Chain A
Amino acid sequence: DARVTQTPRHKVTEMGQEVTMRCQPILGHNTVFWYRQTMMQGLELLAYFRNRAPLDDSGMPKDRFSAEMPDATLATLKIQPSEPRDSAVYFCASGLVLGTGANVLTFGAGSRLTVL
C-alpha cells in the first residue's frame, strides 16, 4: 500500500530553534507539494517540486523557510528560526503529474509543529 511518509509526526520546540520536517514521497511520483493547514487559509501551498526541481515557493516566508529535495526519495522543509506563528500542521503530498488533467495527490499524515 503506497503512502507518503512524514516525520516527525509531532514536534514541540522553542522559538528561535531550527525545525526540519521530512517527507518520503511515493516511489515513482514526480511532484511533491508542501502545504500548511491553518484555520484561516485552509491548505496553504508553501512550495512544490517537479522532478526534484523547485517550481514554486512563493507561498513560503523566504527569510526563514527553505524547501529542498536532495533526492527522489526525500523532501525537506526547514524553518530557521522558528516562531510561534509557525505553529500548524504541515502536510507533504506527492503525485504523478503528467501535464494538465487527471492528476491526484496523495497526502502524508502531517507533521504537527508547536513553537513555544
Chain B
Amino acid sequence: DQQVKQNSPSLSVQEGRISILNCDYTNSMFDYFLWYKKYPAEGPTFLISISSIKDKNEDGRFTVFLNKSAKHLSLHIVPSQPGDSAVYFCAASRNQFYFGTGTSLTVIP
C-alpha cells in the first residue's frame, strides 16, 4: 500500500517558468517531509525538507509547501532551469522513510 503518492509521472516546463511537483500522503503521523532529486545513473540527492510544524520552507529557487489538512505537499521551482531536469522523489518520514514513485521533470530550453 503506497503511503506516499506522486500522481504525475512526468512534467515538462519551459525554461524560466515555474515547475510545480505534487505529492500526497496518507499517514497523518508523518512528521518530516523531504524532496530528493535524481539524475540518471546516480543515487537520489537531498534537495529540501519541511517539518510538519511548518507550512513553507524556502531555499533559493526551491520552495516546499505543506498542507497537512489535505495531506499534500508540493515543490515549486522558480525559475526553472535546464539543469533541473531530473526525477524528483518526495518522501515522508517518522523513523522510517517512505518514498513516492517519482516525477520526471523536463525543463525545455
Where chain B touches its partner, the secondary structure class is: strand
Complex: A104 Cα to B44 Cα, angstroms: 12
A2 proximal to B (CB < 8 A): no
Contact with A along B91-104 (1 / 0, CB 8 A): 10111111111100
Is the CB–CB distance between B31 and A107 below 8 Å? Answer: no
Residue of B nearest to A92 (CB): B43
Q: CB-CB < 8 A to B2: which residues of A? A: 41
For chain A, the bracket of interface size reads 20 to 34
Which residue of the partner chain, among A41, A102, A107, contacts B45 with CB atoms under 8 Å?
Answer: A107
Is the CB–CB distance between B101 and A91 below 8 Å? Answer: no
Q: CB-CB < 8 A to A48: which residues of B? A: 96
What is the total number of residues of chain B having a CB less than 8 Å from a CB of chain A? 26
B6 proximal to A (CB < 8 A): yes
Complex: A103 Cα to B92 Cα, angstroms: 10
Is the CB–CB distance between B31 and A100 below 8 Å? Answer: yes
Distance in angstroms from A5 CB to nearest chain B CB is 11
Distance in angstroms from B27 CB to nearest chain A CB is 12
Contact with B along A103-116 (1 / 0, CB 8 A): 11111111000000
Chain A interface (Cβ < 8 Å from any Cβ of B): 4, 6, 33, 35, 40-43, 45, 48, 55-56, 91, 93, 97, 99-110
